[in-house]
């Protein structure tokens, strides 16, 4: 037993299964980026040994401690045994895949909740890897999980909008939610894989059960003076066996099946010369296990695999990065910029494309997602735009399709992997109370009805 790990934090049972898969079958894990966090706010909140309590909505608050090993084994007969019946033929139409020549049709939106002291401002959205759940963190310290409406499982599209969605459950964190991440092998048919990570202000990293909202495990990061720090970004890596987290000037990793203290520290000042700042986002390469990329608010992107590889310089603080499915390209978006960049990782430092005309002149994170050979992004003007990812010789690429989906800022988009359903979330903070507010989450049908 490692001497630096307190005995009460040792977990002998495996928290998550270790899938025996070939490296070629490794898939991307989805993440829900949140809004950009003010650097001073994070620095003031990191140096504390007191951990804020967390609670599942509707229950008493609980301390941020690891659950007993038996709590990690879950069953959910009501979800796994559910029989999904198709709608009546005369009221439905067959769903095909994405067709951007058609105007998206609203399927449903989330139900409004009673007003609270905290603004219910959404901070991005993300479909689970199996496409059954939508993860939505909000500015009211809560993380909500919505289930895909049962009417859509049959492959049919209801003609009329469905009833408003209510969250399957919601958990309350101890502070502002910074980042979330699904377990990459999540499948509703295997309840032990149904979980996600979250990190928030003055709170360690939590692993939540996606069926019940119960706390499965806690990962605490300790700095050089043995104080607990709150991570700003978090990401599963190496098929979910490792958790990488970002802090101010340091990366830390955890063994997923061993909650407690971190197993590795990567200090930027030692391994990445001239690279400083808060690590705002982390991504795992889908084609090369162990290779991660991270972005900082100090205008840098770093690549790391058993040691530093290279550093890419950007024009502003990095808010989001994503690998291409082939793993040879990296897409990045930065603060107050109406473009995002495609980097060639085969020739580090070479820019392949610049995607133009995205309205994102804000410090808020405006999420984008990759859907096959297309990239989708929202904007502060409430318009969703789509670019084609091809080997075009043109350096500057413009969107080939756009549509206005909200009167407010669309800060998050997530495309379903197997159905032509686009999830969007909207909202931003205003100093002017007369501004139009739309703190909503909506599902849009983006396919074509089959012709008889």
pLDDT in tens, 113-148: 876 777 788 999 999 999 999 999 999 999 999 999
Highest mean pLDDT among 4-18, 24-38, 90-104, 187-201: 187-201
What beta strand segments (E) does 69-160 contain? Answer: 92-98, 105-109, 126-127, 133-137, 142-147, 156-158
| Residue 393: count of CB within 10 angstroms of its CB | 6
Q: How far apart are the first and last CA of the chain?
A: 67
Of 328 and 46, more confident: 328
Local confidence band at 273 (pLDDT 50, 70, 90 cut-offs): confident
- With H, G, I as helix, E, B as strand and everything else as coil, classify residue 390: coil
Q: Which among 37, 61, 64 has a CA at the least distance from the CA of 49?
A: 64
Confidence of residue 10 (pLDDT cuts 50, 70, 90): very low
The structure tokens listed for 392 are: 């075009």
Considering only CA atoms, which of 338, 340, 360 is closest in space to residue 351? 340
Q: Three-class SS of residue 335?
A: coil
Task: Single out the residue of 291, 215, 279 nearest to residue 252, CA to CA.
Answer: 279
- Give just the sign of the alpha carbon dihedral 109, 112, 118, 119: positive
How many angstroms separate the CA atoms of 220 and 266, rounded?
A: 16
In whole angstroms, what is the distance from residue 86 CA to residue 97 CA?
18
Residue 80 Rama label (left phi>0; alpha psi -120 to 50; beta) = alpha
Q: What is the pLDDT of residues 323-343, one digit of tens each?
A: 999 999 999 999 999 999 999
Dihedral (Cα; 45, 46, 50, 51), 10-degree rounding:
90
386 vs 39: CA distance, rounded Å: 31
Distance of alpha carbon 140 from the chain centroid:
17
């Amino acid at each position: 037993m490692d001497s630096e790990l307190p005995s009460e934090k040792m977990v002998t049972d495996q928290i998550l299964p270790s899938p025996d898969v070939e490296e070629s079958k490794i898939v991307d894990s989805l993440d829900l980026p949140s809004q950009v966090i003010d650097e001073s706010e994070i620095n003031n909140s990191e140096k504390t040994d007191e951990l804020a309590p967390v609670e599942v909505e509707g229950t008493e608050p609980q301390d941020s401690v690891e659950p007993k090993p038996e709590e990690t084994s879950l069953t959910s007969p009501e979800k796994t045994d559910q029989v999904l019946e198709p709608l009546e033929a005369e009221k439905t139409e067959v769903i095909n895949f994405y067709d951007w020549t058609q105007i998206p049709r609203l399927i449903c939106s989330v139900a409004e909740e009673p007003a609270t002291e905290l603004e219910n401002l959404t901070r991005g959205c993300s479909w689970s890897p199996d496409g059954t759940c939508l993860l939505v963190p909000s500015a009211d310290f809560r993380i909500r999980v919505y289930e895909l409406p049962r009417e859509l499982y049959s492959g049919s599209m209801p003609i009329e909008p469905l009833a408003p969605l209510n969250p399957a459950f919601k958990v309350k964190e101890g502070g502002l939610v910074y980042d979330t991440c699904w377990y990459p092998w999540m499948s509703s048919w295997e309840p032990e894989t149904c979980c996600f990570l979250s990190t928030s202000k003055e709170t360690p990293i939590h692993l939540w059960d996606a069926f019940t909202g119960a706390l499965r495990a806690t990962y605490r990061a300790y700095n050089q003076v043995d104080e607990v720090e709150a991570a700003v970004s978090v990401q599963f890596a190496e098929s979910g066996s490792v958790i990488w987290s970002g802090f101010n000037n340091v990366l830390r990793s955890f063994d997923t099946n061993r909650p407690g203290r971190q197993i590795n520290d990567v200090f930027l000042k030692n391994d990445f010369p001239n690279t400083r700042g808060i690590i705002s986002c982390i991504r795992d390469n889908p084609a090369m296990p162990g290779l991660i990329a991270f972005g900082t608010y100090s205008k840098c992107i770093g690549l790391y695999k058993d040691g530093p590889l290279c550093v890419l310089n950007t024009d502003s603080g990095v808010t989001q990065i994503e690998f291409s499915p082939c793993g040879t390209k990296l897409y990045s978006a930065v603060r107050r910029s109406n473009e995002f960049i495609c980097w060639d990782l085969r020739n580090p430092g070479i820019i392949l494309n610049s995607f133009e005309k995205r309205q994102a002149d804000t410090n808020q994170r405006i999420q984008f997602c990759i859907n096959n050979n297309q990239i989708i992004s929202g904007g502060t003007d409430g318009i969703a735009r789509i670019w084609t990812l091809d080997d075009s010789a043109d350096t500057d690429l413009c969107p080939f399709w756009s549509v206005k989906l909200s009167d407010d800022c669309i800060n998050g988009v997530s495309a379903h992997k197997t159905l032509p359903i686009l999830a969007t979330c909207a909202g931003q903070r205003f100093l002017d109370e007369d501004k139009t507010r739309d703190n909503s989450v909506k599902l849009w049908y983006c396919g074509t009805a089959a012709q008889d």
